[in-house]
Amino acid sequence: MTGTSTREATLAKLRGDKQTFDLVVIGGGITGAGVAREAAGSGLRTLLVEQKDFSWGTSSRSSKMVHGGLRYLGSGHLGLTRDAVRERERLMAEAPGLIEPLRFIMPHFRGQFPGPRLFQGLLRVYDAIARNRSRHLLKPAETLFWVPGLTDHQLAGASGFTDAVTDDSRLVLRLIGEARRDGALCLNYTRALSITRDQGQVTGVTLLPAGTDEPIDVSAPLVINATGAWADQLQSKDPAEKAMTIRPLRGSHLVLPWRCLPVSCSVSLFHPRDKRPVFAFPWQGTTVLGTTDLDHEGDLNQEPVISPDEVRYLLEIAGRLFPGSAVNEADILSTWAGVRPVVTDGTGKDPSKENREHAIQSDRGLVSIAGGKLTTFRIIAREALKLGLGDDTGERIRPDAEPVFHVPPALARPEGLGHQTWQRLQGVYGQDLASVLEAGPLAPVTPSGPSDLLWAELCWACQAEDIQHLDDLMLRRTRLGLILPDGGTALLPAIRQHCQSLLGWTDETWQQEQARYLAIYRSAYSLPGREAPRGD
């Protein structure tokens, strides 16, 4: 059964006898997926809907870091750091291959903040929270061994420590798969038109799937609003009800070929313009530079786009860190920009000074979530469920110690697959791994390229991962559109050969989808003003 037919089967079920759920989750990013995972794992009848694709928003455009937020510790947010560090440790233990440790190096330069003594003090607290020492003070020569090409001008040494990195979109999809395994229904490209109420109390949601003009009504006494930057749009318009105020902040990134900036760890430096930490880190065979932090003024329903000034800002720090690399705009493979849903008190703070803690608000059966970090999705989900379910929560939510992820099957590693690829496959697909291996060829999609992605993974995505558009496949199920030149245009004929029939698309549909994808890539993931790639 293809992803399209799976989705149609779910819609047919909803259009049959009126469906009643214990809760409806609106929003298919990391927070919504986390809520659905915890709810379904607790035996609650759960429906999740997402107006675009799963992880379309912030959760496919983050900085990919599963970390405790060392800088938040420095600004006094001890609780946020404590929760995040402990969740990081848990996630790395439960899903190796999906959440992987990454070494971080913070160079120290004479006369610049922060000095090694202060930073080592912060790391001492950081390690104590994690109950795992990873800090290390490096001499200048040791620093250059870890980070070849780093500027040695006024270099006093560096601090090393360990955090973690992930593919955020694949993390969302893994959580949705776990929720489905426990009985949840999850639909992408399905908009929540309105929340229905009876005397002010939530009674359900009216939905509109894409491609139809027939709304679907479902009943539920609890709705979890996990729409991120859109959270305030579903909140009560009653002036007596004080709604959360969301400040959309954009963070943008550059993707470079690894050969242009060959780093094996994450290297950080405070930017001379605004003293914000900016990172260069290895990801999927490339090097990523990020992130910025500024107010996003655009339409939230449109793809956010990096600005020319953000490009200059990120290239400037690359030039400072690695003066011999001479990285310039011509080297850039792709860009991405994500919008963070930060809860603000409206006092006009600098974007980087806004609190990153999450906020949860309840309004007679509507629980709205905003803010928070990728790392703490499970804590946020459980808090929202407890608030929404009320007094009997203790008997309805599964124990905190229950694992987030089902354990992958004990399979023998296929001949020809390396250990790292095998661990990645286990982490990304979990209990679906056997089906993935049977879905198509176990040959690499880019034998001489940056990725170890297999054709079987693309075939599986087309059959079972709710792909409605080519950009779903190229930008979220895989990251080929980000890590290959021109959005992977040269690879599209081969992808067509493997995937078109699995998707059930006609030649005309393929051409339309290819044009749509290349237009999205050009406008939102390429360098501003760069000439558009041409398809076949």
Residue 123 lies in a domain: no
Which one of 333, 364, 396 terminates a domain?
A: 396
454 and 363 in a common domain? no
Residue 494 lies in a domain: yes
- Whole-number pLDDT of residue 228: 85
Cα 248 to Cα 528: distance, rounded to the nearest angstrom: 21
- Whole-number pLDDT of residue 19: 83
User: How many domains does the chain divide into?
Assistant: 2
Preceding omega of 114 cis (within 30 degrees of 0): yes
- Whole-number pLDDT of residue 9: 86
Paired with 362 in beta bridges are 367
493 and 445 in a common domain? yes
> Tens-of-pLDDT digits for all 536 residues of the chain?
455 557 888 898 898 877 899 999 999 999 999 999 999 999 999 999 999 999 999 999 999 999 877 777 766 778 788 889 999 999 999 999 999 999 999 999 998 888 899 899 989 988 888 888 999 999 999 999 999 999 999 999 999 999 999 999 999 999 999 999 999 999 999 999 999 999 999 999 999 999 999 999 999 999 999 998 887 777 655 555 556 788 899 999 999 999 999 999 999 988 888 888 899 999 999 999 999 999 999 888 899 999 999 999 999 999 989 999 999 999 999 999 999 888 887 767 777 667 667 889 999 999 999 888 899 999 999 999 999 998 666 678 999 999 999 988 899 999 999 999 999 999 999 999 999 999 999 999 999 889 999 999 999 999 999 999 999 999 999 999 999 999 999 999 999 999 999 999 999 999 999 999 999 999 999 998 877 666 65
Domain holding 188, by residue range, is 3-58+169-245+354-396
Both tokens of residue 87? 């969740």
Please give the C-alpha separations between residue 238 and each of 230, 243, 343, in angstroms, as whole numbers. 18, 9, 19
439 and 505 in a common domain? yes
What's the burial of 312, exposed, middle or buried (CB within 10 Å: 0-12/13-18/19+)? Answer: exposed
- CATH number, domain of 364, equals 3.50.50.60
509 and 425 in a common domain? yes
376 and 456 in a common domain? no
- Whole-number pLDDT of residue 126: 87
Residue that the structure tokens 């605004």 belong to: 274
3-state secondary structure of 29: coil
476 and 383 in a common domain? no
- Whole-number pLDDT of residue 66: 95
Cα angle, residue 55 at apex, residues 51 and 56 outer, rounded to 5°: 60
Torsion of CA 341, 343, 347, 350, to 10 degrees: -40
Q: Which of 376, 346, 379, 380 is nearest to 361 (CA)?
A: 380
Both tokens of residue 192? 């929540």
In which element (H, E) is residue 116 found? helix 116-130
Residue 405 lies in a domain: no
Residue 27 lies in a domain: yes
- Whole-number pLDDT of residue 231: 77
431 and 387 in a common domain? no
Residue 271 lies in a domain: no
391 and 427 in a common domain? no
Which one of 364, 381, 396 terminates a domain?
A: 396
Residue 485 lies in a domain: yes
| Cα distance between the two ends of the chain | 29
470 and 383 in a common domain? no
Residue 119 lies in a domain: no
- CATH number, domain of 437, equals 1.10.8
442 and 364 in a common domain? no
Instruction: Tell me the pTM.
Output: 0.95
CB atoms within 10 A of CB 142: 15
474 and 440 in a common domain? yes
Residue 240 lies in a domain: yes
- Whole-number pLDDT of residue 257: 97
* β-strands 266-270, 246-257 pairing: unpaired
- Whole-number pLDDT of residue 3: 52
503 and 362 in a common domain? no
